[in-house]
A = this chain, B = another copy of it.
């Protein structure tokens, strides 16, 4: 291709293994860029634990507005034991997801035949979780009274709207429509969380009418965890709320060979703000800086980023390179950079 389109990327390497795996994701992005006629212009943001210790800032609004001007965001990982739990998660990661209206948190799960699963007989697993990203118990509504006394009370409020539920449900149906098996499973807990649960259930029932080809079923979240270990191949597209999606996607990653391979996109389908791509794994401070982290999840997140930018072929080049690399993994230890180099080389070839 001769038209050399330039995309701007905001890069937030973050904490722990975040910077290492981000380096490899960018390496692989660059490797495919040239032959797909694009360039990526990067701006790095030093947000995370170090910045918070130095300045007390998690994500200043001015910086958020700068980040917003980019075509997409690549994020490594956020969180460090030296920072009180919640400060960076709420003040940085969730602030990005909420402010940039990432209402589709997309998390594909696939078993690579050569990668071990903790399950004895996982079967052919290839599903995607569409996790709502801007509502539910994640919104930070709640509080505490008389903290530290025997009379303390702490609340967390899950807020769910027809507006918020319908848009993510429609997105999930559209994704199911584009997949060969055309199956959608709603996961909630509508026998206990009846108000939110019934809103979700009614919304799925309503939107279903516009997608007559899709086979729809419903599972309580507890039952869904059972199926994820006894028959994960039954799933095609799962749509669920923010908290249940968090739980199910870690479990899904675990049964498909581990959190080292699980990619995600925090997507704003309306494109009113840039979408953000990040591995599902956390900052893993225990192995940070040691070149021990598997950058595959970050690299696959970069592939999701390319797909979102309309560069499906480039995305496919990365996915194929990852598949080929995974198939040849022998169990011999490679550094983070070696894995990145190997995948970059294949993706460029």
Interface residues of A (CB under 8 A from B): 79, 85-86, 89-90, 94, 117-121, 137-138, 140, 142-144, 146-163, 166, 189-199, 201-202, 221-223, 225-226, 228-230, 243, 246-247, 249-251, 253-255, 258-259, 282
Partner of A190, one of B86, B120, B143, B192: B86
In the assembled complex, the Cα of A221 lies from the Cα of B158 at a distance in Å of 17
Q: Which residues of B contact A155 (CB under 8 A)?
A: 157-160, 195-196
Please determine whether A247 and B225 come into contact, CB atoms closer than 8 angstroms.
Answer: yes
| Nearest B residue to A250, CB-CB | B222
Listed residue (A89, A154, A199) with the most chain B CB atoms within 10 angstroms of its CB: A154
B residues in contact with A143, CB < 8 Å: 195
> Which B residues touch A249, using CB under 8 A?
222
Smallest CB gap from A122: residue in B: B118
Given contact pairs A118-B230, A250-B223, A154 touches B160 in the complex (Cβ within 8 A) = yes
Q: Which residue of B lies closest to A141 (CB)?
A: B155
CA A222 to CA B228, docked complex, whole Å: 14
Roughly how many angstroms separate A192 CA and B244 CA in the complex, as a whole number? Answer: 13
- Supply 7 A–B pairs (Cβ within 8 Å), ascending by A: A118-B119, A119-B229, A151-B162, A154-B195, A189-B246, A221-B246, A228-B251
Q: Is the CB of A156 within 8 A of B250?
A: no
Q: Is there an interface contact between A138 and B192, defined as CB atoms closer than 8 Å?
A: yes
Complex CA gap A192/B136 in Å reads 11
The reply to whether B156 and A94 form a contact with Cβ atoms under 8 Å apart is: no
CB distance from A160 to the nearest CB of B (A): 5
Contact status A154-B120, CB under 8 Å: no
Contact at B89–A195, with CB atoms within 8 Å?
A: no
Instruction: Using A118-B119, A160-B153 as known contacts, say yes or no to A195 and B144 having CB atoms under 8 A apart.
Output: yes
Q: Are A198 and B154 in contact (CB under 8 A)?
A: yes
Using Cβ atoms and an 8 Å threshold, which residues of chain B touch A89? 191-192
A112→B221 CA distance, assembly (Å): 26
Which B residues touch A157, using CB under 8 A?
A: 142, 155-158
Q: Which 7 residue pairs of A and B lie closest in terms of their CB atoms, listed nearest first?
A: A222-B250, A152-B162, A86-B194, A225-B251, A154-B195, A226-B254, A89-B191
- Choose from B156, B247, B255 the contact partner of A221 (Cβ within 8 Å): B247
Residues in B neighbouring A251, C-beta threshold 8 A: 222, 225-226, 228-229, 251
* Complex contact B137–A158 (CB within 8 A): yes
List, in ascending order, chain B residues with CB within 8 A of A121's CB. 118
A113 to B193, CA, bound (A): 37
Interchain CB contact (< 8 A) of A120 among B120, B194, B196, B253: B120
Say yes or no: B196 contacts A156, CB within 8 Å: yes
Given contacts A86-B191, A118-B119, A137-B193, contact A156 B153 (CB under 8 A): no
Contact B199 A226 (CB under 8 A): no
* A255, B118: Cα distance in complex, Å: 11
Complex: A156 Cα to B243 Cα, angstroms: 13
Q: A118-B119, A119-B119, A229-B229 provided; 18 other pairs, C-beta below 8 A?
A: A85-B198, A86-B197, A89-B192, A119-B120, A142-B193, A152-B199, A153-B159, A154-B161, A154-B198, A155-B159, A156-B157, A156-B195, A189-B246, A225-B247, A225-B250, A226-B259, A228-B251, A229-B255
